[in-house]
């Protein structure tokens, strides 16, 4: 069975600090997808990134960066120079895929990390 | 562009009353559709998913049901609500080839 673990329940930082959110996953699939979502206080989940298991290149998007390491089954998310607007719950998720690499779309979510950025 | 709508935004219902939550998607055809529930302070639990009209798969046994009467409409129902049905209900859609799910604004349900 698939499992996603976000060991950090809550993180509190001061604005401009860098912060890393950890995500460890378990799956028997050789082909899978990993995601990060942000849930601001309004409640709607906002898609941040999708990474497939074939591609271990790290990715940077503005202040956000992601470190995917298959050897340790981790997909960590770093926010550089955090801002108050980054305060939210962040979810890591894992998706099943068939042998052709097409995702069925069923997501297994971690329990989320509550990030609070203080001014 | 694609948009997803959910209503109502907030609902307070007595125990034992029926429930109907609606989700509609615009700007895409034949999407996969999903219903999730998020209890307070917890992660998301997949309740139902659908790959086409009339095709519903249930992930968790409960007193809820889902239906997909039209291609871009997904309905979550219950005949008799329980206190434990309280939570935040999120609808999502995806295109199978890409797999990324996009979520609606959610419905907050409080059963008293």
N- to C-terminal Cα separation, chain B: 38
Give yes or no for a contact between A42 and A52, defined as CB atoms under 8 angstroms apart: no
Q: What's the average model confidence in pLDDT over B81-108?
A: 89
Phi (first) and psi of residue A37, to 5 degrees: -125, 150
Chain B residues with CB under 8 Å of a chain A CB are 32, 34, 42-44, 46, 49, 59, 88, 90, 92, 94, 96-106, 108
Give the separation between CA B12 and CA B111, rounded to whole angstroms: 6
pLDDT attached to residue A82: 97
Digit-coded pLDDT (tens) for B2-61: 899 999 999 999 999 999 999 999 998 899 999 999 987 678 988 998 988 998 988 886
Q: What SS3 class is residue B83?
A: helix
Whole-number mean pLDDT of chain A?
90
Asked if A31 reaches chain B (Cβ–Cβ under 8 Å), the answer is: no
pLDDT attached to residue B58: 86
Check CB contact under 8 Å for A103 and B98. yes
Give the separation between CA A96 and CA B39, rounded to whole angstroms: 23
Q: Is the dihedral of CA B17, B93, A100, A38 positive or negative?
A: negative
Longest dimension (CA), chain A: 47
Nearest residue, CB atoms, B44 vs list A42, A102, A109: A109
Q: Give the DSSP per-residue string, A22-49.
A: --EEE-S-SS-EEEEEEE-TT---EEEE
Q: How far is CA A5 from the centre of its chain?
A: 10
Digit-coded pLDDT (tens) for A26-62: 998 888 889 999 999 989 999 999 998 888 888 888 9
Phi (first) and psi of residue B51, to 5 degrees: -105, 0
């Amino acid at each position: 069975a698939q499992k996603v673990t976000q060991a950090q329940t809550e993180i509190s930082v001061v604005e401009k600090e860098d912060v890393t959110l950890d995500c460890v996953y378990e799956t028997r699939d050789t082909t899978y997808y990993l995601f990060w979502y942000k849930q601001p206080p309004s409640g709607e989940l906002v898609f941040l990134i999708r990474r497939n298991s074939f591609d271990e290149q790290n990715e940077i998007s503005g202040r956000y960066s992601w470190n995917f390491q298959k050897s340790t089954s981790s997909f960590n998310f770093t926010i550089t120079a955090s801002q108050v607007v980054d305060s939210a719950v962040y979810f890591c998720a894992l998706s099943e895929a068939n042998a052709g690499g097409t995702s069925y779309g069923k997501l297994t979510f971690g329990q989320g990390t509550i990030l609070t950025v203080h001014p | 562009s694609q948009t997803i709508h959910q209503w109502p935004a907030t609902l307070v219902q007595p125990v034992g009353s029926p429930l109907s939550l609606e989700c509609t998607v615009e700007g895409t055809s034949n999407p996969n559709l999903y219903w999730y529930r998020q209890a307070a302070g917890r992660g998301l639990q997949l309740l139902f998913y659908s790959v086409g009209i009339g095709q519903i798969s249930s992930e968790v046994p409960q007193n809820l049901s889902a239906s997909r009467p039209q291609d871009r409409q997904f309905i979550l129902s219950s005949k008799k609500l329980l206190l434990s049905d309280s939570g935040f209900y999120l609808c999502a859609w995806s295109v199978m080839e890409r797999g990324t799910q996009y979520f609606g604004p959610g419905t907050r349900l409080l059963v008293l």
